[in-house]
A and B are shown apart, each in its own frame.
Chain A
Amino acid sequence: MIAALGLLVGVVLGVVLAPTVPLWLQPYLPIAVVAALDAVFGAFRALLDGVFDDRVFVVSFLSNVVIAALLVFLGDQLGVGAQISTGVVVVLAMRIFANAAAIRRRLFKA
């Protein structure tokens, strides 16, 4: 509930304020969003498994975002930013898929 509410508030704020993303931040935002989504799906799955722990969620959310951004930053410095971004997105997307599959199994028993 609080999650949905927060998401709604964030999206509304984003649309209303139409933030101007500084150039240097642009490569990191999509990665950060995907990393955060990974944490969210993991949390949702844990919730359905009955083992949800908000502290784990907060820490995994933040560390996911920070590590993903760090990886991209490092890749940029090494001149392989695009490749690392792709790698990070692929891995995170696979994890999201795995979690989504687990959630689906749990919700629909199929």
Chain B
Amino acid sequence: MTTRTDGTDPAASMALLRDLLRDEAGVEYADAARRRAESGAPGPERHPWLLGAAIAGLVAVLMLALVRPDDPDVGAARTALVERAEAADRAVSELETAVAESRAELASLQEALLAQSAEGERLVGEVAELEVLAGYTGVTGPGVVVTLDDAPDADRRDPTAPGRVIDLDVQLAVDGLWEAGAEAVSVNDRRLTTTTAIRTAGSAILVDYRPLVPPYVIRAIGDPAALEPGFAATGDAGELAAVSEQYGITFVTTTESGLVLPPATGILPVRARVPGPALLRTEGGTS
């Protein structure tokens, strides 16, 4: 019926183009109309029920294949898993916001209530200072921005493609920035703390268990005059430059003023506690 049965040929896109120019849909219908007029019959209605049943079956199979969520098909199971992971990611994101709000609320409450006594005021000051050190306060200042990105020709679907940025690359950049004297570092707006891990899962790099989307933008606050040359002098930066040269990974460092780093959303320790003075004395010297 159609003139496009040569569709399996790679050059068929040319045929499609010709069809387009020929206003093909119109031709098809006109042809059918002419034939009908010639034969005098009301269209070739030979096996309507058969055709209908065949198509109904096709559609039903298609829908069933799509709907069954626990399809034995590995792909479908994987997709379901990915969806669960993405849902979990959203839930964690919401929780992080809630925790950050509670934390801020508690901090201001504490400040207001404790500032009444000298001891309280000292503690409030101590907490505020420690929050800056631990990364639980948003900070702003001058520094450098290191951008890492996959090579333009790297296959994003292949986690082992050489042109892909891997967790080690991000770790190296961060390590080199600390070595160069950075005071605070964030990766794609996730503030790094003592407990923040930078890991890989497949094609995704995780920071604080959250998958990041390339490009990887690493912001570091520190002495603007010293940070960039200091970073460039580290072995880490040297290694990244070599990787960049060899595999085409983007690796750019720029000095900027007025960087803003968000507070960490990480969790305070639950297992570690500060030992009493007695414990510190009894185990003196061993480690």
Contact = CB atoms under 8 A, between A and B. Distances in A.
Touch test A–B (CB under 8 Å): yes
A94 interface: yes
Binding site of B, secondary structure by majority: helix, strand, loop or mixed? helix
Interface in B35-88: 36, 43-45, 51, 55, 63, 65-69, 71, 73, 75-76, 78-80, 83
Interface in A13-51: 13, 17, 19-25, 38-39, 41-43, 45-46, 49, 51
30 contacts: A13-B63, A22-B65, A22-B66, A23-B79, A24-B75, A41-B25, A42-B25, A42-B26, A45-B26, A46-B25, A46-B26, A53-B33, A53-B43, A55-B43, A55-B44, A56-B28, A56-B32, A59-B2, A62-B55, A66-B7, A70-B7, A70-B8, A71-B12, A71-B13, A74-B10, A87-B13, A91-B13, A91-B16, A91-B17, A91-B20
A53 B32 contact: yes
Of all A-B residue pairs in the complex, the 7 with the closest CB atoms, nearest first, are: A42-B25, A19-B66, A67-B7, A46-B29, A23-B75, A51-B33, A53-B32
Given A22-B73, A45-B26, A78 B20 contact: no
A60 B30 CA distance: 13
Number of chain B interface residues as a range: 35 or more
A97 B165 CA distance: 42
A63 B76 CA distance: 27
Contact of B67 (A20, A39, A71, A94): A20
A69 B69 CA distance: 23
B283 interface: no
A45 B66 CA distance: 32
B119 interface: no
A53 B29 contact: yes
Interface of B: 1-2, 4-5, 7-8, 10, 12-13, 16-17, 19-20, 23-26, 28-30, 32-33, 36, 43-45, 51, 55, 63, 65-69, 71, 73, 75-76, 78-80, 83
Contacts of A17: 63, 66-67
Provide the main secondary structure of the chain A interface: helix
A94 B24 CA distance: 12
B29 to A, nearest CB: 4
Q: What class of interface size applies to chain A in its complex with B?
A: 35 or more
Contact of A22 (B16, B43, B79): B79
Given A17-B67, A63-B2, A70-B8, A55 B45 contact: yes
B25 A74 contact: no
A11 interface: no
A77 B1 CA distance: 27
Nearest to B36: A53
Nearest to A56: B32
Given A20-B79, A91-B16, A99-B25, 19 more contacts: A13-B63, A17-B67, A19-B66, A20-B69, A23-B75, A25-B66, A42-B24, A45-B25, A51-B32, A51-B33, A53-B29, A53-B32, A53-B33, A55-B43, A63-B1, A70-B7, A88-B13, A91-B17, A98-B23
B10 A42 contact: no
A49 B44 CA distance: 20
A39 B19 CA distance: 13
B20 A95 contact: yes
Given A13-B63, A23-B78, A60 B25 contact: yes
A22 to B, nearest CB: 4
Nearest to B51: A58
B4 A63 contact: yes
Contacts of B32: 51, 53, 55-56
B13 A20 contact: no
A21 B66 contact: yes
A20 B12 contact: no
